[in-house]
Structures are given as structure tokens and as C-alpha cells.
């Protein structure tokens, strides 16, 4: 009799949890999966070329050119959420896109990748999230999202790539590296010489 009551109670709880959309399958960092029918897509975009190696250096002229060239790509990716680090070059990289779309980014510390990954998986599951980030912490963020190494390498002068990390509804994680559209060299007009 007691065994039947325990079993009946367990079945009742499982039924309630199922109806509420609970899933017991946590992802790689222990965040429970939601019932969304859409994968979570995190686009990790390195800031554009910088002026110097100073910690909070702005973009160089080439970096500003790249930032403008990124607008069609970012518009096509159509992120639901835009995140930048506390360093100015990440904001400057996506500023032309933000100006065109009248978006306001969230600012997060590039030294707290695990916390950012947990926030993304909790607050924006099933959404597309653009993260303008840095070389080095981009690996930490991808790993915190559950992606497995080896990753494509971004060298010190790699500015023309981005990663798409997809977290499927079942928790499976994939990482794909993509190339940004090429930047057309600006040739001075004869009248501007």
C-alpha cells in the first residue's frame, strides 16, 4: 500500500512538472533547459582593429571602416539582445549598427564570462544574442556556453571572423566560425588628394 502511494505521488509530481514544462536536462554549466522550441544563438564578434595595445584604446581608422562595413551583416543576423564589454572598442565596433537600428546595448564585464553565459542561457533562451567581445575572453565565453574545444584560433591581428554558438533545445552545443564580409579599401577621389 505504501509503495503504491509513493509511486502514485511520484507520478502526480512528474505529471505536474511535465505540464509546467520542466526539463531535468541541464546544459554544460548546469542551467536547466526551458521549453522553448527555438535554439539559442550567441554571436561572438571580436571588436574591430584597435588604435594601440593600451587596455581601453579606441578603434583605428581601419577599425571604424570595419564597424561601418558590419552594419549589413549585423542587420541580417537581427539579434534580439546586444551586449558589449566595458571597453570602448566593443561599443565602437557596433555603434554604426546601433545608430541605424536605435538599439541600446547591455554592458557586461569581459572578465565574467561564466556569469554572462549563465545570464544568456537563463534570460534569453531561444533568442539571438550578439556579444561584441575580445580575443581571449571569447574562448572563455564559448566554453561557458558549453562549446567544446578545439576552437579556431584568433591571432592578435584576426578581426575578420565571428563565431556562432548554437545551443539546441536539447542542450547540444555547436560552434561555427564565419568570415565577415570583406572590407573595400577606401580609395581617395582625385579631388581629395
Q: What's the CA gap between 132 and 114, in Å, rounded?
A: 16
Q: Which of 66, 77, 33 is nearest to 171 (CA)?
A: 33
**Is 59 a member of any domain?**
yes
**Is 88 a member of any domain?**
yes
> Containing domain of residue 77, as a range?
53-102
pLDDT score of 181 more than 80 = yes
Which three cell numbers, joined as nine digits, stand for 101? Answer: 537600428
**Is 126 a member of any domain?**
no
**Is 92 a member of any domain?**
yes
- Rounded to an integer, the average pLDDT of 42-49 is 95
Answering whether pTM is above 0.85, one says no
**Is 111 a member of any domain?**
no
> For position 183, what pLDDT does the model report?
85
Residues 143-164 have pLDDT tens digits of 999 999 899 998 989 999 999 9
Q: What's the CA gap between 119 and 116, in Å, rounded?
A: 5
**Is 71 a member of any domain?**
yes
> For position 188, what pLDDT does the model report?
45
Q: Which residue has the higher pLDDT, 51 or 18?
A: 51
82 strand-pairing partners: 130
Return the percentage of the chain with pLDDT > 70, whole number: 77
Show the DSSP H helices in the chain as ranges.
2-20, 61-69, 71-77, 88-101, 113-123, 137-144
Res. 40 pLDDT band, cuts 50 70 90: very high
Q: How many domains, the chain?
A: 1
Summary mean pLDDT of the chain: 83
**Is 78 a member of any domain?**
yes
**Is 186 a member of any domain?**
no
Amino acid at each position: 500500500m505504501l509503495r503504491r502511494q509513493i509511486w502514485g505521488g511520484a507520478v502526480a509530481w512528474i505529471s505536474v512538472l511535465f505540464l509546467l514544462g520542466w526539463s531535468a536536462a541541464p546544459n554544460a554549466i548546469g542551467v536547466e533547459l526551458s521549453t522553448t522550441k527555438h535554439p539559442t544563438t550567441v554571436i561572438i564578434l571580436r571588436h574591430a582593429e584597435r588604435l594601440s595595445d593600451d587596455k581601453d584604446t579606441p578603434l583605428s581608422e581601419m577599425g571604424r571602416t570595419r564597424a561601418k562595413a558590419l552594419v549589413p551583416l549585423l542587420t541580417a543576423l537581427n539579434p534580439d539582445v546586444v551586449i558589449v564589454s566595458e571597453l570602448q572598442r566593443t561599443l565602437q565596433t557596433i555603434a554604426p549598427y546601433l545608430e541605424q537600428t536605435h538599439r541600446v546595448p547591455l554592458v557586461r564585464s569581459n572578465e565574467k564570462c561564466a556569469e554572462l553565459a549563465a545570464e544568456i542561457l537563463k534570460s534569453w533562451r531561444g533568442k539571438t544574442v550578439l556579444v561584441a567581445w575580445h580575443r581571449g575572453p571569447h574562448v572563455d565565453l564559448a566554453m561557458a556556453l558549453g562549446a567544446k574545444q578545439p576552437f579556431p584560433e584568433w591571432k592578435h591581428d584576426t578581426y575578420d571572423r565571428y563565431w556562432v554558438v548554437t545551443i539546441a533545445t536539447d542542450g547540444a552545443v555547436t560552434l561555427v566560425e564565419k568570415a565577415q564580409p570583406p572590407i573595400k579599401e577606401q580609395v581617395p577621389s582625385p579631388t581629395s588628394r
